[in-house]
Chain A
């Protein structure tokens, strides 16, 4: 039981990494299922369209799913183009922050699509089918050996002997596919390492404070959910009891719409102050009424820490 507890704690602490790994494994697994069960290269002029649709359409759908599931998307978009007057930052600052977050969201949402493309390229079936239908491959093959026509190239994925013959004489499309796959994996790893280094280098916050900030954001999110549930339970109890007993409701203080809007603004860090979130800033500046509340910070938004795992009340 104790060991089970320890394993569970480990899982909870590293749940982000674990969830990405599980997503990658599921993507790899479904790619195998697709290529063995569903995929049948038509071996005619439709090869290119068929192969590329199997390679790219699932990746696109996974990207869209990644956006939908991410809590950041909804945090970013909710109320942005509403005609109501919100507490807005300067348009330039808001735009820069928005773009930065969009890039971050795309990066996080790209894990599944890139895994799909990489595994599909390593599996080689989709690329082989698509390349055998391309005009460029046909013209290169014809230049190499005039005996091979485009019709023969179309039939290559369905004909094992023809495929072996062309691979041994000219170029193996399967090998090409796997090379591209490895190259993609290597470049993704390099790019992510470089971008993480650059981001950390440019961070205005020191390492330990950044670590504390991440932990604070997570704890505040957890406690927000707990407190919201408590507050909602009390309010719901009061309302349903008053409805049934036809009595007047006892006064119950709940934050006003303006209060909610004030704490929903994207928070940006300011090295002069010691605030770690919008709620922190709000309660420290006299419930948002002091002038300090309106001061803007540098462009390091706290949304960089919003974990996708906190989707419990974000709507999906």
Chain B
């Protein structure tokens, strides 16, 4: 049992890396399934549209799912219709865009993975670009091939063109090569951008490294504690209510947070370098209600930055 615990702890320590690898494998598997089972290039004038739809729609779906699964989205938007001041607090309009930008960056991971895997495979791009009727592009691809190339490029994906085998094979290879080079460009650019933004964000951090580590641990523990206390109080309250209902007794008082306290606790936390608070609830408990309505100083929300949905 002890050995099992050690192995479990080892994997839990690397859950972010394991989560990303799992997502990558899932994307690769899904892309394979799509291109083998569902994708049939029409080999007509619809090639371009068909290929682009297969390339970008799953990416869009993954982006939307990414938004859904990020808890920050719901923290940001819950109750915004009733109280728009929540999203656009006085004197800090950019807060919404900053947080939304962070959520978008997190949600973009899966679509970019899909795009890079799909481009490395080459099937979708090959179908799409063989249907592109752009004269400059056709000139570049068909420049040393027979005359039919210009008219029949879209048929090469199904091997139905009247071009000789060597030419159509070469055209297919060229299109696949273009797709794979584009795929590598996407991967390299994304990796470089994410490293640079993470380094910049880290560099600008007002919090030292070890305190940041402690903060992450605190955020995780507070989440667990909140879950537990929700369960506890929900059980107590429902037991009391049902007991009083069935036994027709007067209910004993149970103290629960007021509506305004819930509102204040649900706000996204922003770091204040002069204080020692690690979350909204921490600040609420230490300073009371008045602390929350003050204007936000700096914005830094660490906990969900690398959260796996």
Contact = CB atoms under 8 A, between A and B. Distances in A.
Interface of A: 1, 4-5, 8, 12, 38, 40-44, 46, 49-50, 53-54, 57-58, 60-61, 64-65, 67-69, 73-75, 77-82, 84, 86, 158, 224-225, 228-229, 231-233, 235-246, 249, 254, 256-257, 260-261, 263-264, 311-316
A240 to B, nearest CB: 5
A225 B221 CA distance: 13
A146 B13 CA distance: 62
A53 B189 CA distance: 13
B273 to A, nearest CB: 7
A256 B14 CA distance: 29
Nearest to B288: A248
B13 A79 contact: no
Nearest to A4: B3
B282 to A, nearest CB: 5
A8 B194 CA distance: 35
A57 B3 contact: no
B202 A243 contact: no
Interface in B150-203: 170, 173-174, 176-178, 180-181, 184-185, 187-188, 191-192, 194-195, 198-199, 202-203
Contacts, number: 187
B120 interface: yes
Interface in B271-309: 273, 276, 278-279, 281-282, 284-286, 305-306
Contacts of A50: 177, 180-181
Contacts of B184: 53-54, 57-58
Given A41-B173, A64-B192, A243-B285, A264 B202 contact: no
Contacts of A4: 3
Contacts of B36: none
7 contacts: A57-B187, A68-B198, A79-B202, A235-B218, A260-B207, A261-B211, A313-B217
Contacts of B177: 40-42, 46, 50
A208 to B, nearest CB: 28
A236 B222 contact: yes
Contacts of A254: 276
B60 interface: no
A260 B208 contact: yes
Contact of A79 (B7, B173, B207, B221): B207
Contacts of A40: 173, 176-177
Contacts of A67: 195
B216 interface: yes
B209 interface: yes
B82 interface: no
Contacts of A233: 221, 225
A134 B194 CA distance: 33
B208 to A, nearest CB: 4
A74 B174 contact: no
Interface stretch (B46-54, B87-95, B255-263): B255-263
A99 B278 CA distance: 33
Nearest to B256: A244
Contacts of B187: 57, 61
B257 A244 contact: yes
A313 B213 contact: yes
A244 B229 contact: yes
B265 interface: yes
B284 A81 contact: no
A240 B208 contact: no
A38 B208 contact: no
B205 interface: yes
Nearest to A246: B255
A105 to B, nearest CB: 12
B282 A235 contact: yes
Contacts of A65: 191
Interface in B47-73: none
Contacts of B216: 313, 315
B214 A232 contact: yes
A68 B202 CA distance: 12
A239 B279 CA distance: 10
Given A80-B203, A229-B217, A256 B276 contact: yes
